[in-house]
A and B are shown apart, each in its own frame.
Chain A
Amino acid sequence: MNTALPATLDHRLARFPFPFPEDAYRYSANVEPALTTVATPAGSWGDKLIEIDGDYRAELAERDAILRRDPSRLALLDHMRPAAWDALLTVLETLASEYPEDMEFSRAGRACRWNNRLLGEEWEFTVGDDSSLPGGPLGFLSSQVQEDIVLLDQREDALWLDGGVVTFAADWSMGFDVGMRFLEVHGPVPRIREEEIITRAQQFLMRLQPGQDYRRSNWTMTVGRRLDTSIETYPEWGPDRTSVADDPALPARLHLRVEVQHLVRLPRSGALMFLVRTHLASLEELATVPAWRERLGKVLAELPEDMADYKGISRYRHAASRWLLGA
């Protein structure tokens, strides 16, 4: 099956961070240094901290619309203001160095100038003055990158999810989780507490120093090219999980959803920044790469029931696997 694909799709697959190194998937503390390029059968990914692609404008417009409808997707506890400014400066500096053609950042004292040619926007703002940017530092930052942004404070020997803008959550809620400890945030995930994965991950994260950026990937499945699968909108997308199972259009509707998550110790405030960049590819698209088709088919068939239940894919995963392995 090697149908010709439209150019945009080729681009998506070429940068797609296919997450399975083996035919079976289990949770592990799968963290690795950021900025190492990974070659795939369709191209490569991983050479950038912030990933801008052909869907840049569309995804930013979607985030803007979501935030207007539901401002609770942005949360920032008071003590995280310096962290939000730090996140803004750090990400704008990164954008300027990773996309020098399109992005420019300069600073003199507290006065900053930001030029985003992709959006045709130019801004001047003052570090620490929340009113100098629309949406404040965090809201503004979320209008410049496709990544969801989470900020964690470190204190009392723990990490606390004390701020962020998350419009593209995979079945969780920023408004609900804000103020929680890292371990509590991971409370619903099966296995990882017993296997001490999450306590080890926390210890590791607490020792991360500025400049030592790390990343990991995570995955689930989504019906439709839908980025917003947060708990708040469950009634809109939840029923699809059942209807897709015996829909002949399953291969086109069902998407593998991969999150590339970056872990960055912010260098001024000391907060931990967690960036989540969500990639979607339908089974039909993935099946154009034979190695991916087979690998995903096997992973879905083998996945233990508790993990499949947690990911919300139990109802259709075997149908998906059969199509991938049989088609």
Chain B
Amino acid sequence: MNVLELAVADSKYIAPDIREIVLRRISAGQQEVLPSYIPGSHIVIECGGRANAYSLTGSGDSPEEYRISVQLRPDGRGGSSAVHRFRHGERVKVSGPRSAFPPVATARRHLLIAGGIGITPILSHLRAAAAWGREAELLYSFRPGHAAHLEDIRALCGSSPSLFLMEFTERKAFRTGLAEALRRQPLGTHLHVCGPLGFMDSVIAEARSACWPESRLHLEAFGAADLDPGKPFTAHLARTGRSVDVPSGTSLLEALENSGVPVPNLCRQGVCGECRIPVSKGRPEHRDLYLSESDKAANTTIMCCVSRSHEPHLELEL
């Protein structure tokens, strides 16, 4: 995955517990523009030994900066406290933008629903909708005085005749507003929702009960597009008697290559079938698209570019 090294160029509190961070390239100049991104994308920031995903809030078209808005969680989950401690000028390692919550190009209309900090990917959708003149309606639910980006959103919706905004600060009013909004959409509307899990669940449940088909319901599932880095394990090479450590975030294929054991490969994505290796002991954690279900159940082969081990040790016929 491509990693960018960026600097914290600016930051401010946009709600009592939400800090907006602006990331830019370290050396401005020719290469100033950052990679574009699909609306609703996230970046993964490494900090304090953890990697966390944050939604980008711009439209994604040739951005000069990446903006994220991070809520401080009292329990420190999500690495939010580390991000809140970022200093100006600090260098940050960021994965290139990943898309797992894209708009639907064929949608006749977009019903966007945000709960609290869930506004971040939704704002990105809203900006892209404004840029392309797409029809969109936003239902934004937040605690009074704690709404991030409210001024931006009001200005965007005020400037475009095809964008509509409804604000909610009470649960009951939101429920009623949602039920009405779900029933008034024209056929061909797609719903995108982001917010706390319970919030998303209740929105989806309400949409189902209003007979929305599953194919029109989309919720932000962070990082669904990534394979997780996986647990570390040791590969034992039965024929040569060697052992190769495979750390988290390194593939078995990379680990073998790094220790001078070449393996034929092509796609490095678990699809082409080139990197198949026989397994003599242990249970592979199959993550490829190549092996059939019965191949996988037999546990006698592994596609080493993506798959790992369920247990700390795996023995290979190498």
List A residues at the B interface (Cβ < 8 Å).
Answer: 28-33, 79-83, 89, 107, 127-128, 153-156, 196, 200-201, 203-204, 207, 209-211, 214, 265, 267-271
Question: Which residue on B lies nearest to A207, using beta carbons?
Answer: B225
Question: Which residue on A lies nearest to B107, using beta carbons?
Answer: A79
Given known pairs A31-B272, A267-B36, A270-B38, the reply for A204 and B267 (CB within 8 Å) is yes
| B118 at interface, CB cutoff 8 A | no
Q: Please name all residues of chain B whose beta carbon is closer than 8 Å to the beta carbon of A211 when the two chains form the complex.
A: 2, 35, 96
Whether A270 contacts B102 by the Cβ 8 Å rule is yes
Whether A29 contacts B268 by the Cβ 8 Å rule is no
Given known pairs A200-B271, A204-B271, the reply for A210 and B225 (CB within 8 Å) is no
20 A-B pairs whose Cβ atoms sit less than 8 Å apart in the complex: A28-B273, A29-B267, A29-B272, A32-B272, A33-B267, A107-B62, A127-B61, A128-B131, A153-B106, A155-B106, A200-B271, A204-B269, A204-B289, A207-B269, A209-B96, A209-B99, A210-B97, A268-B37, A269-B105, A270-B105
* Distance, CA A207 to CA B2, complexed state (A): 15
* Distance, CA A57 to CA B300, complexed state (A): 54
A-B contact number at CB 8 A: 87
Whether A209 contacts B225 by the Cβ 8 Å rule is yes
| B165 at interface, CB cutoff 8 A | no
Whether A267 contacts B35 by the Cβ 8 Å rule is yes
List B residues at the A interface (Cβ < 8 Å).
Answer: 2, 35-38, 60-62, 96-99, 102-106, 131-132, 215, 225, 266-273, 289-290, 292
Question: Which residue on B lies nearest to A160, using beta carbons?
Answer: B106
Q: Please name all residues of chain B whose beta carbon is closer than 8 Å to the beta carbon of A80 when the two chains form the complex.
A: 105
Q: Please name all residues of chain A whose beta carbon is closer than 8 Å to the beta carbon of B266 when the two chains form the complex.
A: 30-32
Q: Please name all residues of chain A whose beta carbon is closer than 8 Å to the beta carbon of B38 when the two chains form the complex.
A: 210, 267-270
Nearest-Cβ distance from residue B125 to partner chain A, whole angstroms? 12
* Distance, CA A31 to CA B274, complexed state (A): 11
Question: Which residue on B lies nearest to A33, using beta carbons?
Answer: B268
* Distance, CA A271 to CA B39, complexed state (A): 12
Q: Please name all residues of chain B whose beta carbon is closer than 8 Å to the beta carbon of A107 when the two chains form the complex.
A: 62
* Distance, CA A240 to CA B310, complexed state (A): 58
Other than the known A204-B289, A210-B96, what 13 A-B pairs have Cβ atoms closer than 8 Å? A29-B267, A29-B272, A30-B266, A31-B267, A32-B267, A32-B272, A82-B132, A155-B105, A196-B292, A204-B267, A209-B99, A210-B97, A265-B99
Q: Please name all residues of chain B whose beta carbon is closer than 8 Å to the beta carbon of A79 when the two chains form the complex.
A: 105-106
Interface SS of chain A: mixed
Nearest-Cβ distance from residue A249 to partner chain B, whole angstroms? 38
Q: Please name all residues of chain B whose beta carbon is closer than 8 Å to the beta carbon of A207 when the two chains form the complex.
A: 225, 269
* Distance, CA A10 to CA B19, complexed state (A): 60
Interface SS of chain B: loop
Q: Please name all residues of chain B whose beta carbon is closer than 8 Å to the beta carbon of A268 when the two chains form the complex.
A: 36-38, 60-61
* Distance, CA A156 to CA B215, complexed state (A): 6
Counting from the closest, the 7 A-B pairs by CB-CB distance are A267-B36, A204-B271, A270-B38, A270-B102, A79-B105, A32-B266, A79-B106
Q: Please name all residues of chain B whose beta carbon is closer than 8 Å to the beta carbon of A271 when the two chains form the complex.
A: 105
Whether A210 contacts B215 by the Cβ 8 Å rule is no
* Distance, CA A156 to CA B214, complexed state (A): 10
Q: Please name all residues of chain B whose beta carbon is closer than 8 Å to the beta carbon of A29 when the two chains form the complex.
A: 267, 271-273, 290
Whether B289 contacts A200 by the Cβ 8 Å rule is yes
* Distance, CA A32 to CA B266, complexed state (A): 5
Q: Please name all residues of chain B whose beta carbon is closer than 8 Å to the beta carbon of A128 when the two chains form the complex.
A: 131-132
Question: Which residue on B lies nearest to A214, using beta carbons?
Answer: B267
Nearest-Cβ distance from residue B96 to partner chain A, whole angstroms? 5
* Distance, CA A155 to CA B35, complexed state (A): 23
Given known pairs A82-B132, A210-B36, the reply for A270 and B273 (CB within 8 Å) is no
Given known pairs A200-B289, A204-B269, A269-B38, the reply for A82 and B60 (CB within 8 Å) is no
Nearest-Cβ distance from residue A200 to partner chain B, whole angstroms? 5
Q: Please name all residues of chain A whose beta carbon is closer than 8 Å to the beta carbon of B132 when the two chains form the complex.
A: 81-82, 128
Instruction: Kindly identify which residue among B35, B104, B272 contacts A28, using a CB–CB cutoff of 8 Å.
Output: B272
* Distance, CA A168 to CA B62, complexed state (A): 31
Q: Please name all residues of chain B whose beta carbon is closer than 8 Å to the beta carbon of A269 when the two chains form the complex.
A: 38, 105
* Distance, CA A154 to CA B215, complexed state (A): 12
Given known pairs A83-B105, A128-B132, A271-B105, the reply for A210 and B271 (CB within 8 Å) is no
A31, A33, A155, A268: residue with the most chain B Cβ atoms closer than 10 Å: A268
Q: Please name all residues of chain B whose beta carbon is closer than 8 Å to the beta carbon of A127 when the two chains form the complex.
A: 61
Q: Please name all residues of chain B whose beta carbon is closer than 8 Å to the beta carbon of A200 when the two chains form the complex.
A: 271, 289-290
